[in-house]
Amino acid sequence: MIEEGFLAVPEKFRKRMKNVAFLAEDEPSWSVRRQEKLTDNETLFGLYAGVPVSARGDFYGVGPTMPDTITIYQKPIEEEAKGDSARIRKFVHDTVWHEVAHYLGLDEEEVRKREEERGIK
């Protein structure tokens, strides 16, 4: 589903993506929860970690550079989708888009605005 979500991102954006790994994990770790300042009742569907394309200077990638990561969290998505496979697929696709937008340099406010424009809550 993550691959499907990535392939649904328009090619003009996919072509800009370099040195990024997509990961799937059960749920956010305690360290991620602390880092993101989540309360006990909050969770994440996905997380982008790295240097956004818009912030990379001329010397980014000179020498060994670890890839950025986009992590998709399976359990929170399945719980929110109430186990419905069609809803799970939509959540995964929407989450991939969301995290790719962060990779491209959009902040949370900009991402949410564009999601509203696309009809995503």
The domains of the chain, with CATH numbers, are: 2-52+67-115 (3.30.2010.20)
* CA distance linking residue 119 with residue 121, whole number of Å: 7
Give the pLDDT of residue 101: 94
Give the pLDDT of residue 120: 75
Give the pLDDT of residue 70: 98
Give the pLDDT of residue 121: 61
* CA distance linking residue 114 with residue 107, whole number of Å: 11
Give the pLDDT of residue 115: 83
For residue 108, which of 59, 56, 37 has the smallest C-alpha distance?
37
Q: What is the mean pLDDT, run by run of 10 residues, along the chain of 121 residues?
A: 95 92 97 95 95 85 87 97 95 95 91 84 61
Looking at the DSSP assignment, which residues form a beta bridge with residue 69?
A: 21, 49
User: Are 45 and 95 a contacting pair, CB within 8 Å?
Assistant: yes
DSSP annotation string for 96-107: HHHHHHHHTT--
The count of residues in the chain is 121
First-residue to last-residue Cα distance in the chain? 19
Give the pLDDT of residue 57: 81
* CA distance linking residue 75 with residue 77, whole number of Å: 5
Give the pLDDT of residue 74: 97
Give the pLDDT of residue 68: 95
CA atoms within 13 A on the CB side of 9: 23
